[in-house]
A and B are shown apart, each in its own frame.
Chain A
């Protein structure tokens, strides 16, 4: 578990607090950190990673208080929004091989290439990858590490629909025994998780299951509704957050009526 207690943080030379009195626990599973631009999502990720030390309060990762990122080496992986600073290469295959070796991961290179459908890129040099391919590699390497805590900052930016949907499925499958925390504005990604944390102006406004958070008035006010939730609200349905849930519900309705 990741525990934050009364965390306050502001940047050097700034008089405004970026993170204000944040207290929460982030459990095992897939967690989404959501909020408008400038709400403090990236800052919070970097505080948990240990890159920023809060002026007040503390952060505990897997039972250990974090004073700097050195305390997280070996158990936490952080994938920044610029994936190019995360990958080493020289090829896609080598990059994954290196992280598997560093972390004594249970996965093999071939398994990861197959899971992420990037076997065709195996021998490609990382400097020749497109933006989207680079991001896919960064995420694949992060998950290949099998680290217990994985932080990702806006992982779906620039990804095509096919890979975005595959990524959601992969994160959910591989994230069962881990703490995965994803900072994102992508409402297509958000419903498919175990826990959502809603940030606004550096404060934690709400946290809970997708069904609880996505249907709340505060989420609607701060972030807006996802298309599925908006549709469900109009037709009077509740607790449906993904297209698959809606399809199942409609299928059941049709079956009952037939």
Chain B
């Protein structure tokens, strides 16, 4: 699961219209989609899924959608199961589609947007540097932490400390202790490395990225915003 998550939410360096789109336009599109997904009914959620698939095709990242589903299969199945029992099938499908729609949208954003590019774009807008660095560093550290988690589970399973056979995994608390320690140590190491490079002391950084407002960027915003309009009209 963690290996799939690691690959699903990793940047894929390609030259597509989605990759070349201004990162803030993509982020705004993601926020709008998130809001739309939160309040949509099943029909609108289906449209959201279709939008995600089209975006993934345009960015040549269809396997990201597949990996996201694989990574979240168990939680989705459990949530779907309990939602069916507590509510009904229609409501359960709504909840499942919502989870898939949002996670696909986030995965596509992560696959097509470099964290450095995103933070540079925020900085250009006037966001404080220290605030802007936080998401950039978080995105950069996540793959390493995810890899640590995966390696911890693998190594401790072979050590017979944990058993990850579903549905009742054993010894996960031991793995968690190891993972938390590893994450804290990575955080310390990252902080020391940044301090050694005097990161954050300069008033601003040189922008090395070249991005602009493209037709696709505006179009995807319009399409996603129209979902909100549809929602308002339907309600």
Contacts and interface: CB of A to CB of B under 8 A. Distances in A.
A112 interface: no
Interface residues of B, number: 22
A60 to B, nearest CB: 17
Interface residues of A, number: 28
Nearest to B8: A12
Contacts of B159: 77, 86, 88, 99, 102, 141, 145
A126 to B, nearest CB: 8
A20 B230 CA distance: 53
Contacts of B154: 49, 51, 69, 78
A183 to B, nearest CB: 15
B174 A74 contact: no
Contacts of A72: 158
A77 B63 CA distance: 32
A87 to B, nearest CB: 8
B63 to A, nearest CB: 7
A231 interface: no
A85 B160 contact: no
Contacts, number: 62
Contacts of A80: 151, 155
B140 interface: no
A147 to B, nearest CB: 8
B151 A103 contact: no
B78 to A, nearest CB: 22
Contacts of A98: 161
A79 interface: yes
Contact of A85 (B63, B148, B165): B148
Given A13-B7, A84-B178, A84-B185, A49 B158 contact: yes
A218 interface: no
A85 B157 contact: no
Contact of B160 (A12, A73, A78, A82): A73
A19 to B, nearest CB: 18
B182 interface: yes
B41 interface: no
Contact of B158 (A13, A69, A89): A69
A48 to B, nearest CB: 12
A193 interface: no
Contacts of A204: none
A234 to B, nearest CB: 42
A85 B7 contact: no
A119 B22 CA distance: 59
B158 A82 contact: no
A74 B160 contact: yes
A145 B185 CA distance: 27
A102 B161 contact: yes
B182 A82 contact: yes
Contact of B157 (A69, A79, A141, A145): A69
A127 B12 CA distance: 36
B175 to A, nearest CB: 9
Contact of B155 (A13, A86, A89, A127): A86
